[in-house]
């Protein structure tokens, strides 16, 4: 009998705001100069007073609503006390007793509902920099630029019963974040603390796992480790473990402390917040079309394959890209290119399409697709030029030109064949000019036979139409 696994996730997502959660410092910098984007508030100087960033609250509210949470109209912030160099004031401002949203759910493709316990706002600690060679291994540097960057934490109940379900949950989560446009996919990372237990045994927490793939791998490795221990009749120790990306295994970090050990107290420098019912309703009504609705619409509106529509709707970026391409070429060409070719290029780098969005120039790729639709380049060239563009930063059309990949050489041969067919079939040409569609098919058939199948029918059709205008 396989043992039943219970998994709960605590996901940390950096919100895409311009300034930090409680001060006006920028969340992104022009330069990477350490400790250049901080002030007395995010450094935690005595006497400094935090002020809540309304945009971050608005983003958290949107996420909570999209995940069917109950919104707490009154909520406040708490101090989570701990001593560590990454938090100079010795506490982190977070939400504990009453978060922005609670009791929500996410539905997986199987119809199973994963309950969301809470969604709350908190500040990111500073970054500890272990610079090899610069200092001895007993020292490290602290960069406070990250200190105070807004995060939301999304906590599930332990309803996930396999690493694959956890992955599907995270895919759902990132799709929603993408549509709400609250997460910076290119520069931000999704981190999760993963709790896993085998029913009837102690629970183990795998701390701070970065990215969806690593979460799945960490859980797979941990489920295997615990199952083997249980099979051998051993006890599972309640502890916190870390995930090693190289060996794909988890290692003991420390014995688990409980949440209560942190000693939460009410944050006296921030007043209690209130969200009015009309305010909440306004945000709810303003939520954008989410991925499942979008997939249905794309099938209905553009007649593209359901599978492609699902992939394209997987991110706001892919969806917008498709709709942009579909203005210039047929929806079929656009959908196959986005859902298969571009996605494959991203996956080849171990990334999602959204994560490479900054390297995709829609205008240049649109031009490339038009060449493909007009049969001036073949499918192989289309893919090669797309790779040269995304991976090598090359204008894809320049790539085709410089490498002489236009089918024009073959094109001129086909043009000769078409001219020959037209001049020796003047009656059919006259009929075609008079509007007889059957003559067009007749002439296409003749040219196809003459080219011995080398030409594509749509290419010949287009040439005949041009020449008999
Ligand atoms: Zn600051």
- Yes or no: domain 408-467 corresponds to CATH 1.10.274.10: no
136-157 average pLDDT score: 90
Alpha-carbon distance of 129 to 237, in angstroms, equals 31
Confidence class for position 460, pLDDT limits 50, 70, 90: confident
| 253 vs 237: CA distance, rounded Å | 12
Distance of CA 61 from the midpoint of ligand 1 (Å): 23
Question: What CA–CA distance (Å, rounded) separates 98 from 120?
Answer: 8
pLDDT at 349 over 70: yes
252-266 pLDDT, tens digit per residue, is: 887 756 666 778 899
pLDDT digits (tens, 9 = 90+) for 111-122: 999 999 999 999
Closest C-alpha to 44, from 91, 80, 9: 91
Nearest alpha carbon to residue 250 among 222, 231, 224: 222
Residue 63 pLDDT: 97
Closest-CA residue to 17 (of 175, 182, 153) = 182
Residue-level pLDDT at 309: 95
- CA 89 to ligand 1 center in whole angstroms: 13
> Is residue 381 predicted with pLDDT exceeding 90?
yes
Region of poorest pLDDT, from 34-48, 199-213, 385-399, 413-427: 413-427
Q: Would you list the domain boundaries of the chain?
A: 5-188+257-281, 291-402, 408-467
How far, in Å, from the CA of 66 to the mean position of ligand 1? 30
| pLDDT for the residue 137 | 66
pLDDT score, position 357: 92
Flag the least confident range among 29-38, 118-127, 236-245, 431-440: 29-38
CB proximity list for 264: less than 8 A, separation 6 or greater: 78, 79, 80, 81, 96, 97
Q: How far is the CA of 375 from the centre of ligand 1 (A)?
A: 56
- CA-nearest of 33, 183, 168, 76 to 113 is 168
Find the 252 Cα to ligand 1 centroid distance in Å: 35
The reported pLDDT for the residue numbered 1 is 44
Q: Which of these ranges, 196-200, 301-305, 427-431, has the smallest mean pLDDT?
A: 427-431
Between 225-239, 319-333, 432-446, the lowest mean confidence (pLDDT) is in 432-446
- Give me the long-range contacts of 26-32 (CB less than 8 A, separation at least 24): 27/149, 27/150, 28/187, 29/145
Distance (Å) from CA 96 to ligand 1 centroid: 23
What separation in Å is there between the alpha carbon of 364 and the centre of ligand 1? 40
Cα–Cα distances in angstroms (integers) from residue 281 to residues 277, 278, 285, 463, in the given order: 6, 5, 6, 57
What six digits make up the tokens of 162? 């396999």
What is the chain's mean pLDDT, rounded?
A: 90
pLDDT at residue 416 greater than cutoff 70: yes
Q: How far is the CA of 21 from the centre of ligand 1 (A)?
A: 9
pLDDT at 205: 95
38 C-alpha to ligand 1 centroid (Å): 4
Distance 44 CA to ligand 1 centre (A): 9
**pLDDT at residue 450, rounded to an integer:** 84
Place of tokens 């969301």: 116
Q: How far is ligand 1, taken at its centre, from the CA of residue 357, in Å?
A: 29
Which of 132-136, 193-197, 278-282, 447-451 comes out lowest in average pLDDT?
132-136
Rounded distance from Cα 270 to ligand 1 centre (Å):
16
Give the closest residue to 171 by CA, choosing from 242, 86, 106, 75. 106
Which residue's structure tokens are 């995060």?
151
Mean pLDDT of the 13-39 span: 90
145 with 37: CB under 8 angstroms?
A: yes
Q: Specify the higher pLDDT residue, 1 or 245.
A: 245
d(CA 462, CA 469) in angstroms, rounded, equals 11
How far does the centroid of ligand 1 lie from the alpha carbon of residue 183, in Å? Answer: 20
Of the pLDDT bands very low, low, confident and very high (cuts 50, 70, 90), residue 221 is very high
- Taking the centre of ligand 1 as the mean of its atom positions, its distance from the CA of residue 168, in whole angstroms, is 36
């Amino acid at each position: 009998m396989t043992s039943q696994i219970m998994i709960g996730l605590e996901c940390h997502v950096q919100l895409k705001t311009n300034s930090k959660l409680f001060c006006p410092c920028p969340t992104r910098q022009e330069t990477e100069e350490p400790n250049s984007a901080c002030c007395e508030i995010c450094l935690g100087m005595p006497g400094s007073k935090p002020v809540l960033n309304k945009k971050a609250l608005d983003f958290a509210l949107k996420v909570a609503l999209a995940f069917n949470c109950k919104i707490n109209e009154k909520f406040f912030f708490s101090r989570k006390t701990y001593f560590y160099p990454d938090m100079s004031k010795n506490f982190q401002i977070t939400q504990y007793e009453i978060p922005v949203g609670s009791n929500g759910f996410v539905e997986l493709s199987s119809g199973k509902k994963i309950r969301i316990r809470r969604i709350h706002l908190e500040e990111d600690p500073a970054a500890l920099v272990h610079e090899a060679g610069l200092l001895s291994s007993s020292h490290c540097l602290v960069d406070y630029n990250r200190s105070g960057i807004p995060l939301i934490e999304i906590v599930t109940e332990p309803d996930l019963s396999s690493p694959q379900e956890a992955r599907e949950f995270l895919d759902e989560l990132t799709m929603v974040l993408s549509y709400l446009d609250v997460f910076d996919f290119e520069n931000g990372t999704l981190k999760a603390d993963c709790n896993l237990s085998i029913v009837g045994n102690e629970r183990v927490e795998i701390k701070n796992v970065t990215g969806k793939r690593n979460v799945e791998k960490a859980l797979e490795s941990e489920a295997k480790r615990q199952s083997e221990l249980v099979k051998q009749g051993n006890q599972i120790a309640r502890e916190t473990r870390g995930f090693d990306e190289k060996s794909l295994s988890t290692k003991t970090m420390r014995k688990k402390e409980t949440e209560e050990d942190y000693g939460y107290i009410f944050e006296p420098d921030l007043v209690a917040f209130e969200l009015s019912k009309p305010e909440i309703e306004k945000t709810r009504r303003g939520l954008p079309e989410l991925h499942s609705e979008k997939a249905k619409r794309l099938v209905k509106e553009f007649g593209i394959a359901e599978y492609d529509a699902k992939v394209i709707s997987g991110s706001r970026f892919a969806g917008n890209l498709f709709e942009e391409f579909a203005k210039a070429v047929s929806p079929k060409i656009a959908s196959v290119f986005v859902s298969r070719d571009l996605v494959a290029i991203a996956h080849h780098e171990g990334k999602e399409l959204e994560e490479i969005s900054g390297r995709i120039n829609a205008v240049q790729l649109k031009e490339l697709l038009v060449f493909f639709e007009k049969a001036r380049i073949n499918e192989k060239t289309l893919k090669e030029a797309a790779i040269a563009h995304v991976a090598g930063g090359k204008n894809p059309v320049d790539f085709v030109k410089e490498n002489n990949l236009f089918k024009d050489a073959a094109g001129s041969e086909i043009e000769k064949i078409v001219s020959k067919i037209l001049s020796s079939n003047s009656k059919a040409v006259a009929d075609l000019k008079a509007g007889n569609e059957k003559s067009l098919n007749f002439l296409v058939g003749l040219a196809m036979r003459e080219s011995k199948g080398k030409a594509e029918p749509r290419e010949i059709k287009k040439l005949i139409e041009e020449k008999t205008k």
